[in-house]
Amino acid sequence: MGRMQGEKKRAAEICRAKKNFLLLSHVDPDGDAIGSLLALGLSLRRAGKKVIMANPDGVPLLYRFLPAWDEVRCDYGELLARELAALEVIITLDTATGERLGDWSRILKKDSFVVLNIDHHLTNTRYGQINWIEAASSTGELVQVLLSELGWEIETDIALCLYTAIVTDTGSFRFENTTCDTHRNAALLLQKGINPAQVTEYIYETKPEAAVRLLGRALETLRISPDGRVAWLTITNSTLAVVGARGEDVNGIVNYAKEIAGVEVGILFQETREDLIKVSLRSRSRINVSEIAQRFGGGGHPRAAGCRVRGSLDRVREEVLAGVTAALAGGENTGAGDSQYS
């Protein structure tokens, strides 16, 4: 049995055998972090388990159409002593490093639980006792595979969470991580009765006005390297304040930089309140941006990665651009083969 198969089987055994779970996903959550969390949490509950679901930043407004979103807790300090005492298993979802759990990472340091780490980021640092790390479109897709391994029914509301995870992480089935399996799994979810047009309307067509105004401001900052292969956008704290946007409204804006003809790497630099610059990297087909992000303490996927770097906007921009330029000059070609379509 391959290691991955073994880890999947162990994950299933734990879900079947244990009773008290804490499920966690990463800071600054996206559709996969929230969708996989809710899908596995609700499934475990329906199997009679006690489950606490938590995310250090809570559920963004965008994902509040999902079932049980209001049961996701965010404040680690509010975890009661008796809840902590009853816990047997911590399952982390979509979370490549322990630090990506924010405050909740403290709980990993206690040795009284089994930590089951389920993720599709190949940069995952394997901080659990059981680490099921497998390349898939999304962690949601891995949860779907786990539920079928368990033989647990995927009810419509759980299908909605899984479909949201897959749609958001594949950019609506556009990105390189979309495979035959992804479509097959998504088809199974549609059979459970969800309405794909309605889901994508919730995700992409119910933006607050401020998010669209933020996009306008961000696009005005567009810069392109002299050779046309790197494009970057910048969002400062004051940009957010001027239009009244929230941090989560920034999601997706980096793609505009990458979508320009000839651009190989698109980057978004975003100031945060904590003297940290959030950097989002997207690559068209050749550069493995997760390697670049890892050099700055971050991670992700070959075509989509990120890091948070301490320092001023100017300095971080200069350092990351130098890293990207070096990768392009070295002709780094990792992560996957050249796109068959380019």
CA distance 173 to 150: 26
Please give the order of strands across the beta sheet that includes 299-300: 223-224, 230-235, 265-271, 276-283, 304-310, 299-300
For helices 196-204 and 156-169, the axis angle rounded to 10 degrees is 50
Q: Is 249 in the site for Mn ion (CB under 5 A)?
A: no
Q: For residues 18 and 100, which CB has a smaller minimum distance to ligand 5GP in the complex?
A: 100
Task: Please name the residue ranges forming H helices in the chain.
Answer: 3-17, 31-46, 81-86, 139-150, 156-169, 180-191, 196-204, 209-220, 237-243, 254-258, 289-295, 313-329
Cβ closer to ligand 5GP: 97 or 239?
Answer: 97
| Nearest CA among 251, 256, 259, 232 for reference residue 322 | 232
Position among 128, 140, 266, 299 found at the interface with ligand 5GP (CB under 6 A):
299
Q: Which is nearer to ligand 5GP, 92 or 97 (CB)?
A: 97
79-98 mask for ligand 5GP (x: CB under 6 A)? -----------------xx-
Beta-carbon count within 10 A of 104 CB: 25
x/- string (CB under 6 A) for ligand 5GP, residues 246-285? ----------------------------------x-----
Least CB distance to ligand 5GP at residue 131 (A): 15
Q: Which does residue 317 bind out of ligand 5GP, Mn ion, none, counting CB within 5 to 8 angstroms by kind?
A: none
Binding characters for ligand 5GP, 170-209, by CB under 6 A (x = yes): ----------------------------------------
299 binds, among Mn ion, ligand 5GP, none (CB under 5 to 8 A by kind): ligand 5GP
**144/280 with CB nearer ligand 5GP:** 280
Give the 3-state DSSP-derived string for 180-245, with helices as H, strands as E and coil as C.
HHHHHHHHHHHHCCCCHHHHHHHHHCCCCHHHHHHHHHHHHCCEECCCCCEEEEEECHHHHHHHCC
97: partner contacted, choices ligand 5GP, Mn ion, none (Cβ within 5-8 A by kind):
ligand 5GP
Closest distance of CB 150 from ligand 5GP, Å: 26
> Does residue 300 bind ligand 5GP (CB under 6 A)?
yes
- Residue 298, binding choice from Mn ion, ligand 5GP, none, Cβ under 5 to 8 Å by partner class: ligand 5GP
Beta bridge partners of 115: 90
**Span of 17-25, 74-82, 93-101, 190-198 interacting with Mn ion by CB under 5 A:** 93-101
- Cβ atoms of 165 and 66 within 8 Å: the answer is no
Question: What Cα–Cα distance (Å) separates residue 296 from each residue in 291, 311, 321?
Answer: 9, 12, 12
Q: Which residue matches tokens 């008796």? A: 82
Backbone angles phi, psi at 87, to 5 degrees: -65, 140
Q: Does 264 bind Mn ion (CB under 5 A)?
A: no
Instruction: Please report, for residues 57, 82, 173, 197, the alpha-carbon distance to residue 138 in angstroms, rounded to integers and kept in the order given.
Output: 20, 33, 11, 20
- 7, 28, 94, 141: residue in contact with Mn ion (rule CB under 5 A): 94
Residues 120-149 touching ligand 5GP, rule: CB under 6 A, are 121, 123
The answer to whether residue 305 forms part of the interface with ligand 5GP (CB under 6 A) is: yes
Q: Name the residues that contact Mn ion, by CB under 5 A.
A: 32, 94, 138-139, 169
Q: Name the residues that contact ligand 5GP, by CB under 6 A.
A: 96-97, 100, 121, 123, 280, 298-301, 304-308
